[in-house]
Structure 1
Amino acid sequence: MEAHAPYRYEQLADLIIGMIDKGALSPGMRVPSVRAVSEQHQLSIATALQAYRMLEDRGVLVSRPQSGFYVSNARHGTFALPSTSRPRTKASTVSISGAVAALLEHASNMSLVPLGCAVPDVGLLQSKRLDLMLARVARQHGARHNVYSPPRGEAALRREIARRSIRTGHALSPDDILITSGCTEALTLALGAVARPGDTIAVESPTYFGLLHTLEVLGLKALELATDLVRGVDVAALARLLDKEPIAACVLSSGFSNPLGYVMTESDKRSLLALLSKHAIPLIEDDVYGDIHFGRERPKPFIALDRGENKIIYCSSFSKSLAPGYRIGWIAPGAYAQRVMERKLAFSLSSPVLPQLAIAEFLEGNAYEVHLRRIRRVLEENLTRMVRAIEASFPAETKVSRPAGGFMLWLELPKHFDSRALFDEALEHGICFAPGNVFSASRRYGNCLRLSAGHTWDDHIEAGVRRLGRLACAQLNR
């Protein structure tokens, strides 16, 4: 099945992005009014407004009451966006565990400038309040809860997750949910339920190195998919691959993928779902960054757009938005519930009780929503400041992503640049980041790197980014 042609509002949005990238519309400039653009392009006002709202959600435009829409100063700087990935069209055996282990060891070293770890700063999270809740539960009912949790997890937490699922457009029952040790266990359970050693899994390219590590441990191959910084996975290219390559499952982010930070449009998501349905390929959905959106609305996950035609396994966690140390995630396995449950019982039997109860209590009121609004503002500002520091210090040829959510930046430098050599040199200067080749099963992206903006921005962080930029300039000038 071919991908659907873009809707007219998407065509208009692409046109505006092109004008911004070419300099016809500069940061801070007012764009034509909704009425003017609808008349010029013979569109309805509703269609033109839909395009502007979508660009606002992506952080490309900002609206000002009684004034109109303007090109965002924060989201678009002088550096271009990284190129669309064009990976090989054959599956690759994954061999990345050594590089991942080394990176994680350095990323956990708090004496280094923390640009390498995809975990928010404890100062941005609700650790103290959660810890008090956990301590109170332990003090009042410690003996009662010093037991194994039910296999699916604590009912109170599953109820709260199910209640929140309504906000994202996919209503779940508490019985649809199984609590896991973070999203990593959820993805591992999902992959084990749909694939056998030697099978091929389609993934974004570049993709999160933790997923690649999981594929390696499970003996699975990775088929890397062409991925754009704005639109995400190329659905038409995926359609051509599916006619040639047998694929056991597809693993994709709902939005703000790690490391690119893109979010697919709803029409592209529907096209992808239709394509996977045609080939009867299950989708494993990673929605771990969905709550950290900078636009008006949270992106709808694939599962909310499905009409019951696909086998979707939905995975998420609170590790990126609330409590990484609590290791609380969840999975909605759908048609694979029995297989996932069998693997959960074999791997870990159950998840710890007290962290589940503390998070359930935190979710009961409005505290989580208040917390999310605050960290969204902080993380968006962090990204803006980091982009400015990059543009002030990195080589002029650098390209940098402009995510509309999450807290990662993906940088692309000239082809001959060696980010692994920069990584080794940066460690000597007290800086840690993630070199690009760990985000590819075929060890591509040696000229790219990922920076995390998850820590409270201060002079120490800014100095680290600028020092890293000077090291990159020095490497290119050798």
Structure 2
Amino acid sequence: MDQRTPDPPLYETLAAQIETLIESGVLRVGMRAPSVRAFAAQHGGSLTTALQAYRLLEDRGALEARPKSGFYVTPRTHQDRALPAPSQPPQRATQVSISNPVFSVLAYASDPSYAPLGCTIPSTSLLAAERLDRHLARCARVHGRNYNIYADPHGDAELRGQISARALRLGHAVPPDGILITNGCTEALNIALSVTTRPGDTVAIESPTYFGLLQVLEARGLRALELPTDPASGVDVTALDKALGARRVAACLLASSFNNPLGTRTSDARKAEITRVLTRHGVPLIEDDIYGDISFGADRPRPFAAISPKADIILCSSFSKTIAPGYRIGWLAANRRHDQILAAKFALSLSGAALPQKAMADFLTSGGYDAHLRRIRQAFADNVDRMRRTVDRSFPKATRMTDPKGGFALWLELPRGFDADALYVRAIRERICFVPGSLFTASGGYRNCLRLSCSTEWSARIERSVERLGEMAEEMLG
């Protein structure tokens, strides 16, 4: 009796061929798969069989169909790796003191001789700096004399108009006069904190949170109240409500989208719930929307300010992660405190550099920013996907990792008792730089966690460095 296993249906064989192309990196995240007709002709199958293969891959989450466009490769879910556990920071306000170790990490992160897994600074080859430089050269040649002046403290009017128009597309109706151009997002956050807090006050934040925000709090003499945060859904609203009812909190500082380091995308419903809680307690929200434009999905998340336009919200953002970090062009928008914000900007830096603002305005007016965003979103999604696959095969089996929906940070959680600071010391000796988890908190936690940056173009060097980190982690766990 013939006991041979029957051959799989042809559509499953064709689907496996597509999966091989995805696993090998020939088809990358965000890329369009071959058309159904072309794929059928290439492999000698019918249109119906090829379509069955594509539908099977869609069911598996490997492809997504886009109307009138075709099938595209989706980020892999890596379901065998659990997400990090929701954070449980101590329910007390903490004095912030992290600047010295941060400066040490930054020194290695900026050294090109170290594998660039540290700071989330995008590769220049991925950004639009070269095109922007051409606009700057033209502006200097044609308008240089007119822009070699102290600019209006509000910032370039044309640039503010472009930012206002883009905000309106997200349902955030902020007029150009309600926008203030700043020297990067960091100055915007400093201004926002200066008009909502005084030294010694407490600011509620996500946990873990970006170490740069902690440095800002430290410099301003503010205390941090870290909130329990789920890597999949965001801040625990019940815990937020309880915390605000138990103590005076001067402001709440949250990421709008894709928290660094977790990459969390908070739903519109939860954002509305958070702003209702803050409004009830009379606490202003400062939202950091710097990663909002780097979404891997079909839609860009809406900021808190668009969802709750009447709430006391100050939105801060910049073009540093999408166009050119060196131009230091950020902005803030607020529906209240305008005079205070303008006075704070004037006292802090008088105004921004006029010529770079004019060049940025010309760049946005000329069009092409949306096409540029589509390109870098695909590139960063591909980087994150490759990083996750490399971690998946290289790190200890008990390692948990996030599943970012945007941005370019990946957060790893190793078993309790693992010392990521010790791993960092070993990695630096081998010229590999990453950021240990202890820098993303003011309360001494996350010693078993680390953040990997996916902001640099993928290469054999990066892949080998991640593999080596996994090997060292395995050795340290015994």
Report the TM-score when normalising by structure 1: 0.85
Distance 2:268 2:258 in 1: 14
Q: Secondary structure at the match of 1:251?
A: strand
Distance 2:447 2:325 in 1: 29
Instruction: Quote the offset at 1:389 in angstroms.
Output: 0.7
Instruction: Quote the offset at 1:77 in angstroms.
Output: 4.1
**Which segments of 5 or more consecutive residues in structure 1 lack a partner in the other structure?**
1-26, 28-55
Given the alignment of the two structures, is residue 283 of structure 1 paired with residue 297 of structure 2, yes or no?
no
Distance 2:392 2:243 in 1: 37
Distance 1:290 1:73 in 2: 18
Distance 2:473 2:171 in 1: 44
The residue type paired with residue 159 of structure 1 is G
Instruction: Quote the offset at 1:105 in angstroms.
Output: 1.4
Distance 1:76 1:168 in 2: 31
Q: 1:218 aligns to what?
A: 220
From 287, 294, 297, the equivalent of 2:296 is 294
Given the alignment of the two structures, is residue 463 of structure 1 paired with residue 464 of structure 2, yes or no?
yes
Pick the structure with greater CA Rg: 2
Distance 2:446 2:349 in 1: 35
Distance 1:393 1:144 in 2: 56
**Deviation per CA, 1:171-221, whole angstroms, max 9, x where unpaired?**
211100110011000001000110001100000000010010000110000
Q: 1:382 aligns to what?
A: 383
**Which segments of 5 or more consecutive residues in structure 2 lack a partner in the other structure?**
1-22, 24-57
**Is the 8 Å Cα contact of residues 75 and 382 (structure 2) preserved in structure 1?**
no
**Is the 8 Å Cα contact of residues 60 and 76 (structure 1) preserved in structure 2?**
no
Distance 1:82 1:264 in 2: 16
Distance 2:156 2:84 in 1: 43
Given the alignment of the two structures, is residue 427 of structure 1 paired with residue 432 of structure 2, yes or no?
no
Distance 1:466 1:301 in 2: 36
Matches within 5 A, 1:235-250: 235-250=237-252
- Taking only aligned residues, the RMSD between alpha carbons, in angstroms, comes to 2.0
Distance 2:106 2:254 in 1: 23
Count the aligned residue pairs.
419
The residue type paired with residue 205 of structure 2 is V
Matches within 5 A, 1:6-405: 63-64=64-65, 74-308=76-310, 310-405=311-406
Distance 1:134 1:72 in 2: 37
Residue 146 to residue 442, structure 1, CA distance change in 2 (3 Å)? same
**Is the 8 Å Cα contact of residues 66 and 72 (structure 2) preserved in structure 1?**
no
Instruction: Quote the offset at 1:422 in angstroms.
Output: 1.0
Higher deviation after alignment, 468-477 or 147-156: 468-477
Distance 1:240 1:305 in 2: 23
Distance 1:163 1:270 in 2: 23
Q: Percent identity?
A: 50
Higher deviation after alignment, 449-458 or 339-348: 339-348
Instruction: Quote the offset at 1:137 in angstroms.
Output: 1.0
**Is the 8 Å Cα contact of residues 89 and 223 (structure 1) preserved in structure 2?**
yes
Residue 358 to residue 223, structure 1, CA distance change in 2 (3 Å)? same
**Deviation per CA, 1:136-173, whole angstroms, max 9, x where unpaired?**
11122222211111101111111111111111210211
Given the alignment of the two structures, is residue 476 of structure 1 paired with residue 477 of structure 2, yes or no?
yes
The residue type paired with residue 293 of structure 2 is D
* Deviation beyond 6 Å, 4+ runs, structure 1: none
Report the TM-score when normalising by structure 2: 0.85
